[in-house]
Amino acid sequence: MALIEGDGRPVSFADLLARAEGFAADLQRRGVRKGDRALVAMPVGADLYAALAGLWMVGAVAVFPEPALGLKGLRHAVRVTRPKLMVATGAYRFLRLLPGLWRAKGLRPGGVGAPEAVAFERDDPALMSFTSGSTGVPKCIMRSHGFLMGQRAAVAPLLEAEGARDLVAFPVFVLVGLAAGRCSVLPNWKLSKQGDVTGTDLVNWINHSGATRALLPPALCERLGEVGVPEAVTDVFTGGGPVFPDVMRALAAQCRVTAVYGSTEAEPIAEISALDIAEADWAAMAAGDGLLVGKPVPVVELRLEDDEIWVAGAHVNEGYLDPVDDAANKVNEGGRIWHRTGDAGRLDATGRLWLLGRHSARVTWQDGWLYPFQVEVAARLWGGVRRAALVEIAGASVLAIEADALRDWPVPEGLDIRVVDAIPMDARHGSKVDLAALKAMLE
């Protein structure tokens, strides 16, 4: 079995392959050629993965807008990539009425037969996706077939298991499961509305689908930990945002937990199992040493420049579609491209990486800098605190705390405390603080 659809229907590998080949043959009959760009607007399901495989079989390039950005993100993707085709189902087909898509050839998954073979090179483009846009205009990333294979090689060792059935809330990792011959359970919720998913919703879907592992963003892990992890689930893998020690420890009491650190441009960078976090490490996080994310994965090169994490490797994106975007994030050293993650960090004596938060979000404090995770990680362990976020408002260092009421917390001297009902989070995974919205709220 390849997939479990969001409505519970099973899809075999043979069926998925037949759908992909039939669609690829239909694409060729319709004149689609290698290099043609196709905007994909479909819900997450077997047809989506069949369409994606079909596009790759003929050498076409799949374009995925950032779903969390809605119509604005879609328009941006169309303007930047100028797709020649649009693959859509259901109500998504009406998106062709948008300017920029009028001339795009409208297609839907389907067809029968087998496509003619197309030759590929590692550098041939395969997929175009976008950064979240949380720190500016979303940047378009061109992923080659070689890049996707490099990413699979980096992720696969973390997920190896015989007979596992994975509930996967990250669509790209379904590809890793399919490549490994593992069954993936697809979400039964809209990925653009993960904030509406409750812990009970997750437990019910896990029990119904027979999932034995879960790949979830931290926000969903937090909700799952609150209601209790089903006994059938042996492992939880989480990432896509910071995995704070309170969430990690709550889950670790119920199953094995692995936190993966990475970014859209480089996934994964480091990983750690809760079993490998010693009591001294938990204490160090509570004392303000940052967030432990483990040793860098073997296939990545990592270094620190002015506390910023730089990475390079086969699965690290080397440039954006618009070269203008490279200036701030890419460094070319003799042909070796380093990606500047924008995250601050440090390496301990054993080579493990500790995150300190966004480099640009550090605030002036005493005689130097204070990085967000030096206080936010610790604050989440104070009594009554649900979330915490460090920002600078009009030259003052402010620690916003999501809690019901002010308590006698061990606040570092020099920080202004603001208790709020809710700290705004990102629309993508609900796991990162929306700093712009928070600043606007506090101001």
Q: pLDDT tens per residue, the chain (443 residues)?
A: 999 999 999 999 999 999 999 999 999 999 999 999 999 999 999 999 999 999 999 999 999 988 777 788 889 999 999 999 999 999 989 988 888 898 899 999 999 999 999 999 999 999 999 987 666 688 999 999 999 999 999 999 999 998 999 999 999 999 999 999 999 999 999 887 888 999 999 999 999 999 999 999 999 999 999 999 999 999 999 998 999 999 999 999 999 999 999 998 999 999 999 999 999 999 999 999 999 999 999 999 999 999 999 999 999 999 999 999 999 899 999 999 999 999 999 999 999 999 999 999 999 888 789 999 999 999 999 999 999 999 999 888 999 999 998 899 999 888 999 999 999 987 766 778 888 899 999 88
Per-residue pLDDT at 136: 66
CA distance 52 to 349: 44
**pLDDT confidence of residue 261:** 97
Alpha carbon 29 to its chain centroid, in Å, reads: 35
Q: Look-up: residue for tokens 């034995």? A: 212
Give the integer Cα–Cα distance in Å for 24 and 88.
15
- State the pLDDT at residue 264: 87
Residues 99, 388: Cα–Cα separation, whole Å: 42
**Residue 73: predicted pLDDT:** 85
Q: Which residue has the tokens 């937990």?
A: 257
- What span, in angstroms and rounded, lies between the C-alpha atoms of 392 and 272? 31
Edge to edge, the sheet with strand 85-88 lists 105-107, 85-88, 37-41, 61-63, 125-130, 140-144
pLDDT computed for residue 191 by the predictor: 84
CA distance 240 to 262: 7
Q: Alpha-carbon distance 263 to 261, whole Å?
A: 7
pTM: 0.92
- Residue that has been written with the tokens 């996080």 in this structure: 285
Predicted pLDDT of residue 295: 97
Q: In this predicted structure, what is the pLDDT of residue 29?
A: 96
Task: Identify any residues that bridge with 402 across adjacent strands, giving them in sequence order.
Answer: 387, 420
Residue 364's pLDDT is 86
Q: Return the beta strands (E) in 361-431 as ranges.
A: 363-365, 368-370, 387-393, 396-402, 416-420
Which pLDDT score is estimated for 425? 86
Rg (CA), the chain: 22
Among candidates 184, 182, 174, 117, which has minimal Cα distance to 151? 174
CATH code of the domain made up of 360-442: 3.30.300.30
CATH number of 3-119: 3.40.50.980
Q: Which tokens belong to 31? A: 């004149």
Answer whether the bond into residue 67 is a cis peptide, omega within 30°: no
- CA separation, residue 41 to residues 119, 186, 205 (Å): 26, 17, 25
- What lies within 8 Å, CB to CB, of 196 at 6+ separation is 189
Contacts of 419 (CB under 8 A, 6+ apart): 400, 401, 402, 403, 405, 406
Residue ranges per structural domain of the chain: 3-119, 360-442
Q: Give the type of residue at 435.
A: L
Count of Cβ atoms closer than 10 Å to residue 326 Cβ: 17
Q: Which of 160, 253, 236 is nearest to 202 (CA)?
A: 236
Q: What angle do CA 60, 64, 67 make, to 5 degrees?
A: 165
